[in-house]
Amino acid sequence: MESMEIDRGKAPSTEEEKKEGKAIVLVLVGLPGSGKSTFCDEVVKVYRRRPWVRVCQDTINKGKAGTKIQCLSAATNALKEGKNVIIDRCNINREQRADFLKLGSAQTEIHAVVLNLPTKLCISRSVERTEHEGNLYGVKAAAVVNQMLPKKELPKLSEGFNRITFCENETDVKEAIYLYASLGPLDSLPSGRFGHNKTDTTIQLGIMKFLKKKASDIIVEKVEEFVSRIGRARLILVDLSRESKILSLVKAKAAHRNIGRNKFFTFVGDITQLHSQGGLYCNVIANAANWRLKPGGGGVNAAIFKAAGPELEMATNESADCLRPGKSVVVPLPSSSSLFAKEGVTHVIHVLGPNMNPQRPDCLKDDYVQGSKILREAYSSLFEGFVSILESQGIVTPAKDDQKAKREGAHVSDSNKKQKGSEQSLKHGVKHWATWFQALYNVAMDPAKDENIVLEKTDDVVVINDAFPKAQKHFLVIARLDGLDSLADVCKEHVTLLKTMHDVGLKWVEKSLDENKSLTFRLGYHSVPSMKQLHLHVISQDFDSNHLKHKKHWNSFNTRFFLDSVNVIKELEDTGSVTLITDDFRSMELRCNRCRSAHPNLPRLKSHVRSCKAPFPADLLQNGRLFTSEGNA
């Protein structure tokens, strides 16, 4: 970076010492993880005679995230008080910067420092940090960085800046910090453009350049090809962003091709927290790996390796050294991995798609014909790997031409395979399935082993108390039919069973109302349950329980995610299937189940619910969805 000098001017006279130079509004420009907040902290804490004020949108609203208007107001007030201002926002394009340039005047200069560090470094920092004022870390941070990249527009003097400094590495950043921290009240900096800005090649260039429309066609094509081979298993396409273009395209095309939601659906959430945050139990997850099969880099790869811990890296090293584009490798995850223990993930399938990045091996440049071919191969290899896991568990039976299919879609080239791993380790990994999400299945299949918790047992169902009740009364009516994991598996032939479950649930409602006539009950299913084996929730609507601790608990019973038993039965009779709601209910507002008022947190909501006397919403009072001592509400 070019040297930067402070213009100290002539030695000030006694009268001049009472005056001050022009104030500075320093606009930081950089992606998440580029070091903007660190830059601010360093300048503010070591300033000499020139006072600086940090204006950060993540904390502007009494320590919480605020708005640009609040930032502008705070900056204006600081300037009126004779202070200098550092704007700590991403400011990645002209539009985001425009309003701050209006702060310039005859007494105020507008400077920019561009933290134009490598994208890979920004993603790595964002993913690995554990504390951030804006709660931006982990895989979510990687996604945000990649979403910002196409919008990135480096600042120009023509926008109205007096001075722009480009920092391309850590040394440049340190020099810029020293420069602004050293400014005295009469010091000024030369106007103009300083430093060298390089063209930034993004770590996700291949994904961004590859046409999403074409990619979505290939995904749906391959899903359609493989769904007949996965038995009762399901495929789920996951993306962090609700605005994901690829997710919406795939969802629409899958519906157009009549691919059943009991076989394939899309989901918005963090792939490393599908159970704990999304209520899904996914035993196998796919990782968009790098060719070296190493942690780091950015995006999903870094997040998955971090969530799984060192066990995944060691298990990967035992399976393969590297990957070629279009190939995948199945890695059994040791039970000691935190991703196994917390989320129930037993296998990670590393897969490598086409590379359009000239800085990485096997770059295709702009050959999208070959890119499409490799992407097809990648999904074929990925799904073949998934099928091989299902076969090893006995969930599906190998087809006659399975050996040929495996040869054509080989997961790892022979040159990349290692002696260890293979079939034996694959089967070994399956033995250690996490037990928490199979608990209901085990009770249903062999109630005698858990007779101390079984309230009722018939040939069709088992009734137990929920082990972690979310209300005063919370029963589970569990179907005993093997292979019926959730509503995604039900069809018209199961109507009689669901009616039986409903009737048994009503019997326990009546017993509870005999004990406490003030209770109101609702019967229903979670669209995507957190535990294996179809089960009906019979739950009182007081939600007075110490086990109701998280927003996801409340919203799983009080949003569209909770499907009323009567509605499920009717839809099944009419259409032969049930429409599942896979919205991310975690992000929905916390609202009272009676008056529908919104509340900022769960303790406030629970306090309100205890005293709320409003009638239940009109929609809940229809079709026999609520049950009281006086009958249907």
pLDDT in tens, 33-63: 889 988 998 888 765 568 899 999 888 988 8
pLDDT of 20 over the 90 cut: no
Residue 409: what pLDDT? 41
Query: Could you confirm whether 535 is annotated as catalytic?
Result: yes
- Can you tell me whether residue 204 is helix, strand or coil? coil
Task: Write the pLDDT tens digit of every residue in 514-560.
Answer: 999 999 999 999 988 878 899 999 999 999 999 999 898 999 999 99
Q: Answer whether residue 372 shows pLDDT above 90.
A: no
Share of the chain above pLDDT 90, in %: 44
CA distance 281 to 533: 12
| 19 or 56, higher pLDDT | 56
pLDDT at position 427, please?
36
Strands 163-167 and 192-194: parallel
602 to 230, 507, 552, 591: CA distances (angstroms) = 40, 31, 10, 10
Q: Which domains does the chain have, with CATH numbers?
A: 14-194 (3.40.50.300), 207-430 (3.40.220), 436-632 (3.30.428.10)
| Helical ranges in 235-309 per DSSP H | 245-256, 299-308
Write the CB contacts of 560 (distance below 8 Å, at least 6 apart in sequence): 527, 581, 583, 585
CA distance 184 to 308: 50
- The closest alpha carbon to 584, from 272, 268, 347, 302, belongs to 268
What distances in angstroms separate CA 199 from CA 155, 441, 557, 624, one per listed residue?
13, 56, 50, 63
Strands (E), 276-353: 284-288, 328-332, 347-351
User: With 70 as the cut, is the pLDDT of residue 134 above it?
Assistant: no
Q: Residue 139 — very low, low, confident or very high, per pLDDT cuts 50/70/90?
A: low
Contact residues for 494 (Cβ-Cβ < 8 A; gap 6+) = 481, 484, 572
Residue 389's Cβ-side half-sphere holds a number of Cα atoms within 13 Å equal to 27
- What is the per-residue pLDDT for 246? 87
pLDDT of residue 562: 94
Which residue matches tokens 């309100």?
Answer: 608
* Residue 31: other Cβ atoms inside 10 A: 28
| Cα(143)–Cα(274) distance, integer angstroms | 16
CA distances (Å), origin 15, targets 6, 11, 12: 22, 11, 8
Over residues 78-128, the pLDDT tens digits come to: 999 999 999 999 999 999 999 999 999 889 999 999 999 888 788 878 777
pLDDT-derived band of residue 586, with 50, 70 and 90 as boundaries? low
CA–CA dist 191, 104 (Å, integer): 14
Q: What pLDDT is stored for residue 512 in this prediction?
A: 96
Q: Could you tell me which residue, 14 or 494, shows the higher pLDDT?
A: 494
Other Cβ atoms closer than 10 A to 68: 14
- pLDDT band (50, 70, 90) for residue 399: low
User: What pLDDT, on the 0 to 100 scale, is given for residue 347?
Assistant: 95
Give start and end residues of each alpha helix (H) in 182-237. Answer: 205-209, 212-226
Q: Does residue 10 carry a pLDDT above 60?
A: no
Residues 624 and 506: their CA atoms lie apart, in Å, by 12
Whether 387 shows a pLDDT value over 70: the answer reads yes
Backbone φ and ψ for 461, nearest 5 degrees, come out as -140, 165
Per-residue confidence (pLDDT) for residue 276, from 0 to 100: 82
Helix extents (H) in 233-286: 245-256
Instruction: Say what the pLDDT of residue 621 is.
Output: 86
Predicted structure pTM score? 0.46
Q: Mind listing the pLDDT tens digit for each residue in 445-476? A: 999 998 899 999 999 999 999 999 999 999 99
Selected residue with higher pLDDT from 422 and 543: 543
pLDDT in tens, 220-264: 999 999 999 998 889 999 988 777 888 889 999 999 999 988 889
What is the pLDDT of the chain when averaged over all its residues?
Answer: 83
- The per-residue pLDDT for range 299-339, each reduced to its tens digit, is 788 889 989 999 999 999 888 888 888 999 999 998 889 89
pLDDT of residue 59: 87
Which residue of the set 350, 526, 535, 537 is catalytic?
535
pLDDT at 351: 94
If you average pLDDT over residues 368-374, what whole number do you get?
A: 84
Predicted pLDDT at 151:
81
pLDDT of residue 138: 65
Predicted pLDDT of residue 298: 59
